[in-house]
Copies of this chain bind each other. A is one copy, B any other.
Amino acid sequence: MVEAYAAPCGADPVRITGALVMMRRASLLIRRLDSYFAAHGLSQLRFLVLIVIDREPERRSLTPNDIAQRIDISKPVLSRTLQGLEQDCLITLAASRTDGRSKEVFLTAEGRQRLNDLLPGYFGILSEETAGPAPD
């Protein structure tokens, strides 16, 4: 089907198909991850926030701005997500002592626990994905 469309546009059907297949695989993988996280009271985004704080080598906290840059997400979305995580007691927010505009985000013990609980399943899903045959 791609050929009939791509050829008149001067595009390479092989490349097009490759890109489409990749998007399809990624989309299916994302669905699986979403449903995995949803079953455990998180989401991909919330999970990423936790992991990014946890893996920080030198510090035990990050600013919202740091987090947004590391996971490449807009600040408003992060702001909303942090509010949810705080309500669920997975993080704590404190005012920055060096910058009156900023905050510091810490993992709670429960947050770290939840993260560690979900990591094996997360990696399992990622491994299966790359293991399986490429779907059409």
**Residues of A in contact with B (beta carbons under 8 Å apart):** 1, 4-6, 9-12, 15-16, 18-20, 22-23, 25-27, 29-30, 51, 55, 119-120, 123-124, 126-127, 129-131
Main secondary structure of the interface of A (DSSP, over half): helix
Top 6 nearest A-B pairs by Cβ distance? A26-B26, A11-B123, A19-B126, A15-B130, A9-B120, A15-B127
Copy tally for this chain in the complex stands at: 2
Q: List 16 A-B contacts (CB under 8 A).
A: A4-B55, A5-B119, A6-B123, A9-B120, A9-B124, A11-B120, A11-B126, A12-B127, A16-B127, A16-B130, A19-B29, A19-B126, A22-B22, A22-B25, A22-B26, A25-B26
Residues of B within 8 A of A25 (CB): 22, 26
**In contact, B19 and A130 (Cβ under 8 angstroms):** yes
